[in-house]
Amino acid sequence: QVQLVESGGGLVQAGGSLRLSCAASGRTFSSYAMGWFRQAPGKERELVAGISRSGSSTYYADSVKGRFTISRDNAKNTVYLQMNSLKPEDAAVYYCAADLAPYASGRAYEYDYWGQGTQVTVSS
């Protein structure tokens, strides 16, 4: 069993930055690839960024490439999402998720555990 708790969301002006954190319980964090998803009202949940269990491989959606950075610290059981140059269209609830696999999947249904989500609001 893995519990995920996100933090770091909030209100930011367009062009600003936020850093999301996701703290995981349990001793097997390094066994999981991790993903950051987001869901805006009326839209499907989408994978924003993913990172392999070792941290050596990352994935980014085209819409966030060059602006967002995913990283993890397996010693601290934490995955991060640094979000720079935020746009109004980045506003959503952001979720972290754990996938018992070497690499992060783009399919939400393949993830085993989910956090409760953290709201990101970007004002124009």
Mean pLDDT value of segment 77-103: 97
pLDDT of residue 60: 97
- Provide the phi-psi class of 111: left if phi over 0, else alpha when psi is between -120 and 50, else beta: beta
**pLDDT classification of 116: cutoffs 50, 70, 90:** very high
pLDDT (mean) for 53-78 = 97
What does the pLDDT read at residue 81? 98
Task: Look at phi and psi of residue 76 and say left if phi exceeds 0, alpha if psi is from -120 to 50, else beta.
Answer: alpha
Among positive and negative, which fits the CA dihedral 104, 48, 22, 20? positive
Average pLDDT, the chain: 96
pLDDT higher than threshold 90 for residue 24: yes
Dihedral sign for Cα 54, 27, 45, 94, please.
Answer: negative
Is 3 in a helix, a strand, or coil? Answer: coil
Tokens of 9: 């969301």
pLDDT score recorded for residue 26: 79
| Mean pLDDT along residues 94-104 | 95
